[in-house]
């Protein structure tokens, strides 16, 4: 077809998509969808699944088949032309879904179906979809008066614009920073592979010396290893002030944050909620903001004594061993690494040499095969960048899913790591099964020269985490689009499979098979692994209160802050309550907090800690019966992964574990217990 975005016969033809393809494709699928909605809401159309919801699923899926590849390309190979096309069509997509959510005729059809005799005979998955749709209609303003509906629609359109602008400002502020250094002495302490990466980046710009950037593979090694304190401070300042008032005015997210919070508050009040946090929690596991706030403050109370101990140890080491009497934010990673080396006699660089990319992937795929009885194989496909790869998942010889990987950081690629779906499992009208397809994106250090890409152990954990999301999507056995895979899963439960998979990165039987020294080929020595395990909960108290700080700020921001309130003052108050590491006054964390302003986690960041309780308790089932036990893996696949969003997440957890979740395993796994022998 002339327009690759409208070719629905195959997987997306990513490499062929041009910015000028986007508007015609979006206009066509939206026009078709609007015509379909008009047809299925006619008075003479019966309120049945086949007459209403099946065709609705078909046409909205086609919108996703156009828009999801566009969104992905905008995130991973961003260009000015692509961005312009994306932004100009984003409002159209938002407008359509706002219209759909407020369509009273469609709402009436779904209510009629829910009240009909046919409802009881539908499958549990279809009943769940109907229940979700009734809830979502109400959350979309379907029951508002016409004047308020129009205002609600305007709010949704503007919030979509603000989200896109926020993300683009962070990307541009990150990409826009560059510092060139000629004197290698200023980079003393940095590992050779990092120096080579920086030298290659400078050379690519036609510059001598070394190029420093704010992308994580460049930034974090400076903070962790650079002995030049002024360099660390300057890089910290540049990173902490991204997209804020200290840089170009056009990239300042301050006003965007204020407008976003004001519009979210207005949206909540239009819908009859007291605040936006209540709106956010309506489709989640948590009952109300007070429950979440109490959970977070309980976590803070449990973790803060350990965090204070971590801080005191760090200060003492900095003072006594490094002659540093005023430990600052830009010193934390550097001093922590030196303390880690001194205490456990190994460095992250030493460990990193054993984790070459292909070896890690082979090890990941091996544990997946053992636990869930699937095999993973590479395939050729049309890709968006040479870094990307394509794979298929087979179970009992049958292809059950496919996925893409894109693992390296680069210019024009949004930071962070995430999983997205490009196709969802469903049974088609002609009886064919459509298999799920996932996108797994990370920002690891790319290979330099003839060496393979080497991952830190933290990056290995990140890879396992994102693949856990992918498994949730790909190993579903639900055939209904709205609740297959990750679709329909409560937002505060989606992190269960991802955080669950992280645990296997600490299993010797798993790790020993995914390592080979980049030079010698020797596997990771058991003695080094034992040191890593001993250091597993190093500064776990500080890490726990940091996550609580972010989550509590997010929840209070959307539950208690007045629409005209000062969000930085709120953050300062939260830090005073739970944090142990002082933050410079110029730090503008909210301005790059994309999770809550551009990533769907608004009043939902707590879900990381919430799901940690679930995932640690789920993994404890393996500990109780033997690590990496295939029988337990099969139960987890059957009761959690396979059912997707077809039933409430708490029911899936109970089906797997036989009881409600308990916090004990999380506290034990993270060392937040008094007994020293329980920290491993």
Active site members: 466
- Classify residue 78 as exposed, middle or buried by CB count within 10 Å of its CB (0-12, 13-18, 19+): buried
Both tokens assigned to 672:
């937040």
- CB contact set of 255 (below 8 Å; sequence gap of 6+): none
Please report which helix (H) or strand (E) contains residue 181, including its range: strand 179-181
CA angle 59, 61, 62 (to 5 degrees): 65
Q: With b meaning 16 or more CB within 10 Å and e meaning fewer, what string describes 607-638?
A: bbbbbbbbbbbbbbbbeeeebebeebbebbbb
What share of residues in the chain are helix, strand, coil (percent, to 5)? 60, 5, 30
Query: With contact defined as beta carbons under 8 Å apart, do 282 and 139 qualify?
Result: yes
Sign of CA dihedral 99, 593, 299, 457: positive
Is residue 58 within 8 A of residue 78, CB to CB? The reply is: no
Q: Pick from 148, 76, 28: which is nearest to 405 by CA?
A: 76
User: Where are the strands (E) in 320-417, listed by range?
Assistant: 375-379, 389-395, 398-408
d(Cα 329, Cα 321) in Å, to the nearest integer?
A: 18
Whole-angstrom distance, CA of residue 187 vs CA of residue 189: 6
User: At residue 376, what are phi and psi to the nearest 5 degrees?
Assistant: -120, 130
**Rounded to whole angstroms, how far apart are CA atoms 399 and 313?**
52
* Tokens at 133, concatenated: 């749709």
Specify the DSSP class assigned to residue 659.
S
> In degrees rounded to 5, what are phi and psi of residue 2?
-65, -35
SS3 (DSSP) at 115:
helix
Strands 179-181, 375-379: pairing is: unpaired
For 660, counting Cβ atoms within 10 Å of its Cβ (0-12 exposed, 13-18 middle, 19+ buried), the class is exposed
Nearest Cα to 236, choosing from 595, 583, 593?
Answer: 583
């Amino acid at each position: 077809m002339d327009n690759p975005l409208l070719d629905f016969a195959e997987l997306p033809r990513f490499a062929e998509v041009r910015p000028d393809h986007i508007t015609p494709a979006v206009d066509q699928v939206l026009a078709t969808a609007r015509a379909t909605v008009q047809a299925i809401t006619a008075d003479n159309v019966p309120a049945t699944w086949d007459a209403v919801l099946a065709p609705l699923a078909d046409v909205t899926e086609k919108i996703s088949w156009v828009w999801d590849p566009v969104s992905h390309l905008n995130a991973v190979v961003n260009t000015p032309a692509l961005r312009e096309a994306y932004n100009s069509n984003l409002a159209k997509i938002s407008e359509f879904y706002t219209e759909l959510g407020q369509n009273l005729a469609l709402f009436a059809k779904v209510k009629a179906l829910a009240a009909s005799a046919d409802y009881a005979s539908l499958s549990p998955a279809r009943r769940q979809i109907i229940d979700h749709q009734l809830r979502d209609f109400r959350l979309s303003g379907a029951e508002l008066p016409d004047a308020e509906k129009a205002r609600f629609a305007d709010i949704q359109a503007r919030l979509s614009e603000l989200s896109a602008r926020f993300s683009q400002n962070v990307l541009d502020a990150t990409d826009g920073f560059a510092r060139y250094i000629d004197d290698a002495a200023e980079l003393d302490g940095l590992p050779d592979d990092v120096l080579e990466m920086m030298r290659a980046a400078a050379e690519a710009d036609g510059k001598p010396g070394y190029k420093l950037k704010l992308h994580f593979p460049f930034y974090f090694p400076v903070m962790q290893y650079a002995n030049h304190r002024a360099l660390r401070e300057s890089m910290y300042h540049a990173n902490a002030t991204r997209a804020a008032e200290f840089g170009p005015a056009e990239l300042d997210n301050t006003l965007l944050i204020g407008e976003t919070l004001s519009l979210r508050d207005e949206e909540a009040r239009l819908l009859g909620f007291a605040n936006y946090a209540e709106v956010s929690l309506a489709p989640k596991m948590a009952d109300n903001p007070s429950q979440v706030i109490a959970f977070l403050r309980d976590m803070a109370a449990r973790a803060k004594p350990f965090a204070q101990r971590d801080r005191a140890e760090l200060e003492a080491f900095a003072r006594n061993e490094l002659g540093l009497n005023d430990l600052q934010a830009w010193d934390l990673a550097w001093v922590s690494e030196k303390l880690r080396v001194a205490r456990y006699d190994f460095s992250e660089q030493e460990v990193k040499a054993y984790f070459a990319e292909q070896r890690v992937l082979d090890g990941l795929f091996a544990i997946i095969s053992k636990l869930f009885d699937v095999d993973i194989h590479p395939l050729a496909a049309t890709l968006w960048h040479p870094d990307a790869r394509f794979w298929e998942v087979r179970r009992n010889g049958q292809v059950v899913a496919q996925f893409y990987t894109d693992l390296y950081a680069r210019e024009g690629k949004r930071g962070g790591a995430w999983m997205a779906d490009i196709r969802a499992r469903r049974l088609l009208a002609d009886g064919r099964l459509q298999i799920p397809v996932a996108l797994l994106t990370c920002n690891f250090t790319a290979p330099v020269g003839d060496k393979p890409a080497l991952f830190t152990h933290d990056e290995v954990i990140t890879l396992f985490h994102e693949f856990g999301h992918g498994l949730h999507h790909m190993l579903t056995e639900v055939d209904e689009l709205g609740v297959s895979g990750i679709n329909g899963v409560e937002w505060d439960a989606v992190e269960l499979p991802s955080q669950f998979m992280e645990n296997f990165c600490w299993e010797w039987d798993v790790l020993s098979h995914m390592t080979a020294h980049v030079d010698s080929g020797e596997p990771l020595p058991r003695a080094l692994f034992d040191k890593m395990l001993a250091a597993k909960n190093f500064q776990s108290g500080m890490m726990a209160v940091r996550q609580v700080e972010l989550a509590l700020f997010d929840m209070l921001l959307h539950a208690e802050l007045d629409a005209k309130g000062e969000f930085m003052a709120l953050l300062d108050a939260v830090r005073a309550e739970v944090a142990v590491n002082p933050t410079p006054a110029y730090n503008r964390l909210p301005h790059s907090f994309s999770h809550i302003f551009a990533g769907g986690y608004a009043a939902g960041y707590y879900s990381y800690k919430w799901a940690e309780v679930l995932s640690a308790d789920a993994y404890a089932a393996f500990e109780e019966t033997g690590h990496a036990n295939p029988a337990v893996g099969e139960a987890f696949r059957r009761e959690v992964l396979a059912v997707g969003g077809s039933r409430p997440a708490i029911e899936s957890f109970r089906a797997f574990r036989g009881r409600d979740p308990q916090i004990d395993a999380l506290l034990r796994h993270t060392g937040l217990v008094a007994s020293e022998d329980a920290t491993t």
